[in-house]
Structure formats: C-alpha cells, structure tokens
Amino acid sequence: MTPTYKVHWADVAENDMIGIIEYIAEDSLTNAVNVFEKIKKKATSLNQFPQRGRIVPELKDQGIILYRELIVTPWRIIYRISGKKVYVLTVVDSRQNVEDVLLKRLLEL
C-alpha cells in the first residue's frame, strides 16, 4: 500500500524521544532500542489512515480537536494532520498530565 501522508517530526518530539531513550538506556540499552523502534514504527504508520488516532481527551474537553494521539504504553504520541502531512508534535509519558506538559512548553516559547 502506497503511503498517502508524509510524517514529519517536530524538534520537540525528537528531543522527547532522545530523553526517553537516554533514560531507558541507563538501565538497558536493549530495552531502549526496543522502545525506540516501537514508537518510531507506530508514528511512521501514520502515513496510512492518520485519523485512526483519538482526539487528545484533555484537549477535547477544552474544545480543541485539532490534535490526535496514538498510544505506545506508557507513551502518548501526539500529532496533528495538515493536508497530506502528519506532524508528530510530542511524545509524553501517559503518567504525566498532558495539560501541564503543554502549558509548560507554551510558557517556554
């Protein structure tokens, strides 16, 4: 099946991945590589049917329906679709409060 969407990673999302992998690698390089491959595979799969991800519930409660997510337990891949492009915006630990993470990032801009 030919990909219909192009997946792009925001710098912030790439930095999230680096942080996740470095943290896991402190205990196990093998686990770090496995997690990296799982998250990248799931995100890359957005090149087909990116609408399958659910709207981020915390944002939906605020009336914001532009952002979707896929889960790779315990991480949440948050992205948005624009035309034929999918932008991976962040990868966050599901045990964190997404609203707090996003607010913090907005304040850092």
Span 31-61, pLDDT tens digits: 999 999 999 999 999 999 999 999 999 888 8
All domains of the chain in start order, with CATH = 6-108 (3.30.2310.20)
What is the C-alpha R_g of the chain?
14
* Higher per-residue confidence, 96 vs 102: 96
Backbone angles phi, psi at 80, to 5 degrees: -140, 155
DSSP string, 6-30: EEEE-HHHHHHHHHHHHHHHTT-HH
The pLDDT value given to residue 1: 62
The pLDDT value given to residue 79: 96
pTM (2 decimals)?
A: 0.88
